[in-house]
Amino acid sequence: MQPATTSPRARATAYPIIGLALLLYLAEGFPYGLINELAPIYLRVHHVPLPDITAWLSTIAFAWTLKFFWSPLIELGAYKRWIAGALATMTLLLASIATAPQQVGTLFWFLLALIAIASATQDIAIDAFTIRITPKELLGPVNAIRVIGYRGAILVAGGGLAVVAQAFGWRAAFASAAAVTALLMLLSLWMPNDRASVNTSTNLLDGIAQWLKRSRAFTLLAIVLLYRLGEFAIVPVIKPYWVDCGYSIGEVGTVTTTIGVLVTIAGVGLGGGFIARYGLYAGMIWMGIAQCVSNIGYGVAAATHGARWSIYTASVLENLGFGLGTASFLAFLMFICDKERAATEYALLTALFGVSRWIMGAASGKLAAMMGYGPYFWLSVALGLPALLLLPKVKELLTVPSVPSVPSVP
């Protein structure tokens, strides 16, 4: 396996693209963190019943799944304008929450739902813009910085604003959130102008039909559905397993979440560097193997009855594998999108693998309870293998020339 080489022009072009990706995914992760990390705290502090919190927030968050329905509309205008417009809209909505009466009623839920819709719309444009400006040989580094920016923004939106709320009150927290989105909106105005799409259909069904005409389309779709299946199987049961092993809530949160996020980010960085050096196909194979093997740690932990040394090791390995798999999979999704239909295609592909995540997540608890943790963890290892067996069938499609011609940022 020979490492890919890059020209001096490629290296010079990489820096503005990577910087843009960091800005864009800070903007993408921040509102997601507001709704999924900060809002549950706000609602519980205001004595909203737990079933209402989970039901309403799950319904609101469904905007990120349904976004492919309006993704063709994003192709009609410049992505830069959609991003700036969505951020301006979120700024006004957050300012409205900050100045509205501090109670949870119809107005609050309505404003929060509009923030989710604006955020999902922004995400379509951000993903499409990133695909359009990223050369194939920069997929690894760009996807690494995407995850770092996105995760970092979620931490700021959740933990950072919770600290502001504790010190200065909820009005200050939501006003601070509005200030952040306003700053991101101003920064987005400095983005380069993206090219207007040409001859791009705004019909969703026609977009799907066009994608299915490409070579090995159904094999690619099968890989989209199956590549992350092992991770989707194990993630929902990890925290319950820790609790069932007798570990405290604080220890579970510290190891599986705080340390876990840091290890995941490290894994994404390593995976991105590997793809940049050895190419996407090698990354898909070796990162796919790594994410399968990483689940073995929990199989060993179950065999040792959750001994501290084994379960700590399992957590580190699983999060590392999760990060490596994330780096290769996001690069793969970007690679197989047509740059001229990126908004529609990427939204559709993410919705598709979201289906496998939802199905596996819904079944994971029942399967683990029926089989027992140990056998189920080993099953999660096996679930990652079918996608690896399919990859050689599309090897020629995933191979990038070793000395590419790198376009300038549009």
Per the model's pLDDT, the better-predicted residue between 168 and 236 turns out to be 168
Per-residue pLDDT, 204: 58
Q: Looking at 175, 196, 217, which one is the last position of a domain? A: 196
Q: How confident is the model at residue 406 (pLDDT cuts 50, 70, 90)?
A: very low
- The dihedrals phi and psi of 169, each to the nearest 5 degrees, come to 100, 165
Report yes or no on 69 lying in a domain.
Answer: yes
Q: Is the pLDDT of residue 272 over 90?
A: no
Q: H or E segment at 405?
A: none
Same domain, 60 and 148: yes
Lowest mean pLDDT among 112-126, 192-206, 214-228, 229-243: 192-206
What does the angle CA 126 – CA 130 – CA 131 come to, to the nearest 5 degrees?
A: 120
Which structure tokens are listed for 266? 């490290």
Which structure tokens are listed for 213? 């005409």
Same domain, 119 and 151: yes
Between CA 205 and CA 69 the distance in angstroms is 10
The whole-number average pLDDT for the span 177-186 is 95
Report yes or no on 3 lying in a domain.
Answer: no
Same domain, 227 and 359: yes
Same domain, 133 and 215: no
Three-class DSSP category at 399: coil
Task: Kindly report the average pLDDT of the chain as a whole number.
Answer: 83
Report yes or no on 1 lying in a domain.
Answer: no
Helix axes 204-212, 217-226, angle to 10 degrees: 110
Same domain, 242 and 302: yes
Q: Residue 373 in contact with residue 241, Cβ under 8 Å?
A: yes
Q: Looking at 196, 226, 260, which one is the last position of a domain? A: 196
The whole-number average pLDDT for the span 92-106 is 88
Q: Is the pLDDT of residue 200 over 80?
A: no
Q: Is the pLDDT of residue 324 over 90?
A: yes
Same domain, 111 and 224: no
Same domain, 287 and 190: no
Please tell me the pTM assigned to this model.
0.72
Per the model's pLDDT, the better-predicted residue between 43 and 12 turns out to be 43
Lowest mean pLDDT among 111-115, 139-143, 319-323, 397-401: 397-401
Cβ atoms < 10 Å from Cβ of 12: 11
Closest residue by Cα to residue 116 from 36, 196, 44: 36
Q: Looking at 167, 196, 225, which one is the last position of a domain? A: 196
Q: Domain range holding 267? A: 205-397
Same domain, 106 and 131: yes
Query: How many structural domains are present in the chain?
Result: 2
Q: Could you tell me which residues come within 8 angstroms of residue 79 by beta carbon, excluding any fewer than 6 positions away? A: 125, 126, 128, 129, 132, 194, 343
Closest residue by Cα to residue 317 from 361, 250, 266: 266
Q: Residue 333 in contact with residue 349, Cβ under 8 Å?
A: yes
Q: H or E segment at 220?
A: helix 217-226
Same domain, 393 and 309: yes
Report yes or no on 88 lying in a domain.
Answer: yes
Same domain, 302 and 381: yes
- CATH number for the domain that contains residue 242: 1.20.1250.20
